Chains A and B, each alone.
Chain A
Amino acid sequence: NAGVMQNPRHLVRRRGQEARLRCSPMKGHSHVYWYRQLPEEGLKFMVYLQKENIIDESGMPKERFSAEFPKEGPSILRIQQVVRGDSAAYFCASSPYFSTGTAGELFFGEGSRLTVL
């Protein structure tokens, strides 16, 4: 059973360009979470999605950032018009969903490291 797959592992963008980060959850997992870790800082929650639904986006910046988890395919975190302050590691996690309405433990990918020049 493959783990959470993130790509690209490293991405370099110039200011003003767009960055797209992809996350394929573990097989059987229907919940996806995105976290950001700035250099020398802790992990900050960004957004929590189920298939085709955003459940909690309380940690998403109001502008330029968006996330989706379509019915088919990976989850995408999109950052438009990137700025230097967006340089960070972006981690995706997935969890299973139980019939009780609860989610299991989160399993994280190895992250995508965005560098904005």
Chain B
Amino acid sequence: DAKTTQPPSMDCAEGRAANLPCNHSTISGNEYVYWYRQIHSQGPQYIIHGLKNNETNEMASLIITEDRKSSTLILPHATLRDTAVYYCIVRGLIQGAQKLVFGQGTRLTINP
């Protein structure tokens, strides 16, 4: 699996958009970009994933650059409950190699 690079921490004001960057310059053509978050010591929560097109769901938007070497997770209106560690993960879907490999993630703090 390709490695990812994320800033260790970020702050964002409540109500503003939180933009979390991720670099994955060694991503290969059949690897997806996944985002998960872990709130305090709860189980990780799936947020969104994409291959090359931008994606949006009820939680967030995922913007992937055209060369696929980086992406940005956008939480459009951050709330205090969005404070968590956010993980950007590159995942291949070759049978037998479909686990998620977590890095250190970005600790996002939403401030009132």
What is the 8 Å Cβ interface bit string for chain A, positions 72-96, against chain B (1 contact, 0 not)?
0000000000000000010101010
Cross-chain pair count, CB within 8 angstroms: 53
- Determine whether the beta carbon of B42 is less than 8 Å from that of A42: no
Q: Which residues of A lie under 8 Å from residue B95 when comparing CB positions?
A: 101-102
What is the 8 Å Cβ interface bit string for chain A, positions 12-53, against chain B (1 contact, 0 not)?
000000000000000000010101010000111100100000
Contact of A45 among B42, B43, B99 (CB under 8 A): B99
Q: Which residues of A lie under 8 Å from residue B21 when comparing CB positions?
A: none
- Determine whether the beta carbon of B96 is less than 8 Å from that of A55: yes
Interface residue range, chain A: 20 to 34
Q: Which residues of B lie under 8 Å from residue A43 when comparing CB positions?
A: 38, 44, 102
Asked if A103 is an interface residue, CB under 8 A from chain B, the answer is: yes
What are 30 A-B pairs with beta-carbon distances under 8 A?
A31-B98, A33-B100, A35-B102, A42-B103, A43-B38, A44-B102, A45-B101, A45-B102, A55-B96, A56-B96, A56-B97, A89-B41, A91-B44, A93-B43, A93-B100, A95-B98, A101-B95, A102-B93, A102-B95, A102-B98, A103-B98, A105-B34, A105-B46, A106-B44, A106-B46, A107-B46, A108-B43, A108-B44, A110-B42, A111-B41
